[in-house]
């Protein structure tokens, strides 16, 4: 079966002609993918019955089905989807008055293994296909139209680069969901070559860099990838990126009470933010079992934030959405796998 949800409209037409069908059959099928009632090819209106039956017999149309879901009192919906090979991925819908942001995964697990993150505790199992990435957005879109997409679920997006770029292109198709490029944010723990590439391939997408510490000694302890690409190598890639795009980038900084919140750390963070005119997102650590990290008190976060601002950094403290559910990246999947 082709990766239906990972196809552009043009590719769907080419697929049809490659089978000796008229191109418009490919277009009919492709348009049918975005309808909330479509679960198999035979549900798509206008297609010949025998074609629908033949394609449905060859495999499942939908790349994922719901396994479990939690809805928070604040409206945040965390969904655990099951892929055709039984693997589980998480995606989260976060509604506010004006927006509906969906946070999606790009890999099953993650190879980076940051010490505070549930997704990386057992390494990476596999990359998601473009269709599996797109479908997470579509799943939440059917509940309420999606306005923004953030690649901040499980996995390192820049280690699954081609499928991430493809997913953005499919989601941006005007004939499908038509999401503007500026509505996407790709978050990375820091892969220099791919940061440069992203600036060339998709200059309108926002880049978020998971900094978490502005000195190599601290950062290597919490983000193991820092040993492979030390901070300055990543920052130089970001300089090159900044030279080709004119989007403000974001620095993410998980506040770990005992690890990265001294005055020294605040100074380092402010200095990198000034270098890139970047906006800083302070994220109070969301407790994950089996990590030694401690959640800072609101006072500690406010004090750290004020210090960074005094030194010229612009910060937002990320409010905790979905506090009453397993909201941290990888938590729901981890709990379900442990109880299987
Ligand atoms: N792998 C990419 C994108 C997914 S992680 C990256 O690291 O950027 C997205 C964000 O969630 C990262 O900034 C990460 O640091 C943060 N995060 C992961 N686990 C967390 C936790 N337990 N508490 C708070 N933030 C967490
Ligand atoms: Fe991977 Fe990002 Fe989690 Fe680090 S924070 S383990 S890079 S998903």
| E strands present in 226-309 | 250-255, 279-284
Q: Is 90 a catalytic residue?
A: yes
- DSSP sequence for 100-134: EEEE--SEEE-SS--TT-STTTT-EEEEPPHHHHH
Q: Is 329 a catalytic residue?
A: yes
Q: Which of 105, 111, 185, 189 to mutate to test the pocket of ligand 2 (most atoms within 8 A of CB)?
A: 189
Q: Tell me, using a 6 A CB cutoff, whether residue 113 lines ligand 2.
A: yes
Q: Tell me, using a 6 A CB cutoff, whether residue 186 lines ligand 2.
A: no
The one catalytic residue in 11, 27, 90, 290 is 90
Distance from the first to the final alpha carbon of the chain: 29
Spacing, Cα 327 to ligand 1 middle (Å): 11
Q: Tell me, using a 6 A CB cutoff, whether residue 164 lines ligand 1.
A: no
The answer, yes or no, to whether residue 132 has pLDDT greater than 80, is yes
pTM recorded for the entire structure: 0.95
Give the span between the Cα atoms of 101 and 325, in whole angstroms. 17
Q: Which of 210, 223, 286, 288 to mutate to test the pocket of ligand 1 (most atoms within 8 A of CB)?
A: 210
* 302-329 burial code (b ≥16 CB/10 A, e <16): eebbebbeeeebebebbebbbeebbbbb
The one catalytic residue in 98, 173, 329, 338 is 329
Ligand 1, atom nearest to 252 Cα: 13
Q: What is the pLDDT of residue 74?
A: 87
- DSSP sequence for 292-309: ---PPPHHHHHHHHHHHH
- Residue 222, SS3 per DSSP: helix
CA dihedral over 242, 245, 248, 252, signed as positive or negative: negative
**Any idea what the Cα angle at residue 206 is, between residues 203 and 211, rounded to 5°?**
120
The answer, yes or no, to whether residue 43 has pLDDT greater than 80, is yes
Mean pLDDT taken over the chain: 93
Q: Whose CA is nearest to atom 7 of ligand 1?
A: 189
The CATH superfamily holding the domain 65-339 is Aldolase class I (3.20.20.70)
Q: Tell me, using a 6 A CB cutoff, whether residue 249 lines ligand 1.
A: no
pLDDT tens digits along 234-281: 999 999 999 999 889 999 999 999 999 999 999 999 999 999 999 999
Query: Count of H helices and E strands in the chain?
Result: 12, 12
**Which positions ≥6 away from 11 have C-beta within 8 Å?**
none
pLDDT tens digits along 156-212: 999 999 999 999 999 999 999 999 999 999 999 999 999 999 999 999 999 999 999
Q: Could you tell me which of 286, 333, 256, 322 has the C-alpha nearest to residue 93?
A: 322
Q: Tell me, using a 6 A CB cutoff, whether residue 254 lines ligand 1.
A: yes
- How do 184-188 and 88-95 pair as beta strands? unpaired
Would you list the domain boundaries of the chain? 4-58, 65-339
Q: Which helix (H) or strand (E) holds 200?
A: helix 192-201
Q: Tell me, using a 6 A CB cutoff, whether residue 328 lines ligand 1.
A: yes
Residues 19 and 47: beta-carbon distance below 8 Å: no
pLDDT tens digits along 65-124: 999 999 988 899 999 999 999 999 999 999 989 999 999 999 999 999 999 998 888 899
Spacing, Cα 242 to ligand 1 middle (Å): 23
Tokens standing for residue 199: 């600036």
């Amino acid at each position: 079966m082709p990766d239906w949800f990972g196809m552009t409209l043009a590719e769907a037409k080419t697929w049809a002609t490659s089978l000796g069908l008229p191109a418009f059959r490919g277009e009919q099928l492709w348009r049918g993918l975005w309808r909330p009632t479509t679960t198999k090819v035979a549900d798509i209106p206008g297609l010949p019955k025998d074609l629908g039956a033949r394609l449905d017999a060859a495999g499942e149309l939908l790349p994922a089905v719901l396994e479990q879901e939690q809805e928070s009192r604040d409206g945040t919906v965390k969904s655990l989807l099951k892929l055709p090979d039984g693997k589980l991925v998480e995606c989260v819908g976060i509604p506010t008055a004006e927006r509906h942001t969906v946070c999606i995964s790009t890999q099953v697990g993650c190879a980076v293994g940051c010490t505070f993150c549930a997704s990386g505790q057992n390494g990476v199992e596999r990359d998601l296909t473009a269709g599996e990435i797109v479908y997470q957005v579509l799943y939440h879109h059917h509940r309420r139209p999606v306005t923004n997409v953030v690649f901040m679920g499980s996995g390192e997006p820049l280690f699954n680069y081609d499928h991430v770029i493809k997913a953005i292109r499919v989601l941006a198709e005007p004939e499908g969901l038509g999401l503007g490029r500026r509505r996407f944010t790709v978050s990375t723990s820091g892969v220099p070559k791919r940061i440069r590439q992203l600036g060339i391939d998709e200059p309108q997408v926002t880049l978020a860099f998971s900094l978490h510490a502005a000195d190599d000694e601290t950062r290597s302890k919490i983000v193991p990838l820092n040993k492979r690409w030390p901070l300055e190598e990543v920052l130089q890639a970001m300089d090159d990126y900044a030279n080709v795009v004119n989007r403000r980038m974001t620095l993410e900084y998980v506040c770990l009470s005992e690890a990265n919140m001294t005055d020294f750390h605040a100074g380092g963070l402010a200095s990198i933010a000034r270098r890139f005119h970047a906006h800083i997102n302070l994220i109070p650590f969301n407790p994950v079992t089996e990590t030694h990290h401690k959640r800072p008190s609101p006072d500690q976060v406010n004090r750290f934030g004020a210090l960074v601002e005094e030194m010229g950094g612009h910060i937002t403290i990320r409010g905790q959405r979905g506090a009453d559910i397993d909201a941290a990246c990888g938590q729901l999947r981890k709990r379900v796998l442990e109880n299987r």
